Structure 1
Amino acid sequence: MNSSSLAHAKWKCQYHIVFIPKYRRKVLLGQLKSDVREIIKKLCEYRRIEIVEGAVCNDHVHLCVSLPPKYSVSDFVGYLKGKSALMIFDKHPELTTKWTKSFWARGYYVATVGNVTEDAIKKYIQEQSKEAEIEETRK
């Protein structure tokens, strides 16, 4: 059992999280795609959250994260989407409009990694990433 520990707890809490840009726009391309990848890595490092696997596709982001039990999933996703949007707009001010400063859509998908093996989710995320790369090369 690969588990982590806090002061008084051993845990293995992994989640598959998917979220999308507002209106599922296909904007996660080129430099923005690599910036989003680095921003997500940095924000997870700040909170000491392990990214097991991840992929930034044209119109969505897949993450398989190991989240300590002291964080709720909704708080983590709110933190990640909120801070990343601010950091994205700092690096890419052309993405803002005068009416709104929202980058991500409100909702997200989350599933615990338990009824599906970790390897199956890693394989799924890698396949999604490959499909996105193939789609990009077609353009």
Structure 2
Amino acid sequence: MKDYRHGAHTVFEIHLHLVWITKYRRPALTGEVALRVRDLIRDICGQHSVTIMKGHVSKDQVHLLVSIPPQVTISRLVQWLKGKTAYKLLGEFPQLRKTFWGRHLWARGYFCCSSGNVTDEV
């Protein structure tokens, strides 16, 4: 049987593929910035019981394959990830504030698709 995650009264397996990009697709996620983004994403996901199955930080985008609990909505998860990383990165790396003219590190919106196998056996 599969390795389902368990809550107090739930058994679940919710996998999502998330992608979001930097504003203007500027290649800002390199070196120390990329490492810091990765660490911040790990911290945020850990705080909300989100399991990162795979992830990749490119120079202008972030890809994540995550498993979320039922009480975490997709929009709220993306809000946490984009909002908290932008706030921290713009505070810690002054060159990003110059590159992005202020407070917006990420472009509006995101890509999300569910990723899983549902068969007649279920």
Do they superpose with TM above 0.5? yes
Q: Deviations over 1:97-119 (max 9, x none)?
A: 5953010111100011126xxxx
- What SS class does the counterpart of residue 96 from structure 1 fall into? helix
2:83 partner SS: helix
**Residue in 2 that maps onto 1:107:** 109
Encode CA deviations 1:115-134: one digit per residue, 9 max, x unaligned: 6xxxxxxxxxxxxxxxxxxx
Identify the residue that residue 29 of structure 1 maps to in structure 2. 30
TM-score normalized with structure 2 length = 0.88
Q: Number of residue pairs matched?
A: 115
Q: Which segments of 5 or more consecutive residues in structure 1 lack a partner in the other structure?
A: 116-139
Give SS of 1:78's match: helix
SS at match of 1:7: coil
- 1:28-107 aligned within 5 A: 28-97=29-98, 100-107=102-109
Where does structure 2 lack aligned partners over 5 or more consecutive residues?
118-122
Distance 1:68 1:87, change over 3 A: same
Amino acid at match of 2:17: H
- Equivalent residue, structure 2, for 1:126: none
Kindly report the root-mean-square deviation, in angstroms, between the aligned alpha carbons of the 2 structures: 1.5
Q: Distance in 1 between matches of 2:29 and 2:101?
A: 21
Sequence identity percentage? 37
Give the 4+ runs in structure 1 shifted more than 4 A: none
Which structure: greater helix fraction?
1
